[in-house]
Amino acid sequence: MTNTVPTSLTSPSAWAVDVLVRNGVSVVGDPTRPPIIFGPGYGTSQDMWRLVAPQFAEGHRVVMFDHVGSGDSDVSAYDRRKYDSLRGYANDLLEIIRELDLHDVVFVGHSVSAMIGALAAIQEPRRFARLIMLGPSPRYLNDEGYLGGFERADIDALLDALEVNHASWATAMAPTLMQNADRPELAEELAESMARTDTMVAQHFARVTFLSDMRRYLKDISTPTLILQSSDDIIAPLEVGEYLHEHIADSELVVLSAAGHYAHLSDPAEIERQIRRCL
């Protein structure tokens, strides 16, 4: 009997397809130019960066991706054990970078992706030139001497509501997360994006995200870091941005005039300006 080797295991190029398809990776711009990667926040897809990322295609190789279970990713690749911590997502990011053979990466991460990018940069610092964190938080729970923004009862109630009805939770939370009440279309888009995430993945990823504690890793970040902090963000209060700035050695904190947790949707021109200034 002849053993048949699956096609996906026969060549490096086959592995490349698996990695890039798994995370719905899209690449635009000149492949000879410096790479810039945009990472989406919890429950959203790379489409959230559509008003910012394409603006860099002329001078950079722009890479966008989705976390497994969101957007155009391959939800069948979701492994609950692998993604039981943020390190599983950081490993995905590193696989994408290795597969595309990227160096001197500027990684722009929104929300939890900021911490995912930090973990990746700690693991392989030579791959990264700069980290840009939009609305990051190393810990969402309040602790002794630390204000994360939420008590444990608040997080438990949030997670319970998500597990009861994912779509209703997204609809209810979106206006608070987005702010900008005079532009309700932004909250509607956010709710639709979160509701499209696989329900099982959304529930587990939320638990991993909101119960994570990344504070002990901040001292290990050697990549120059720009922290972009919204002026009024229920998810990441100003104190969180100040804490990150204090504990990441080579960092800069910029407080944006934009309100809400999704400034790349509500004020994309300002986010573009800050990224260009950083570059």
> What is the residue-wise DSSP string for 36-79?
EEEE--TT--GGGGTTTGGGGTTTSEEEE---TTSTTS-GGG--
**Does 261 participate in catalysis according to the annotation?**
yes
- Please identify which of the residues 60, 67, 110, 261 carries the catalytic annotation: 261
Cβ neighbours for 274, distance < 8 A, ≥ 6 positions apart: 132, 226, 228, 254, 256
Question: In terms of DSSP bridges, do strands 61-64 and 26-28 run parallel, antiparallel, or are they unpaired?
Answer: antiparallel
- Please identify which of the residues 233, 264, 266, 267 carries the catalytic annotation: 233
Q: Which helix (H) or strand (E) holds 242?
A: helix 238-247
> 186 in helix, strand or coil?
helix
**Does 233 participate in catalysis according to the annotation?**
yes
CA distance 259 to 183: 12
**Does 247 participate in catalysis according to the annotation?**
no
The count of residues in the chain is: 279
Radius of gyration of the chain (CA): 18
- Please identify which of the residues 111, 113, 193, 266 carries the catalytic annotation: 111
Q: Cite the active site residues.
A: 111, 233, 261
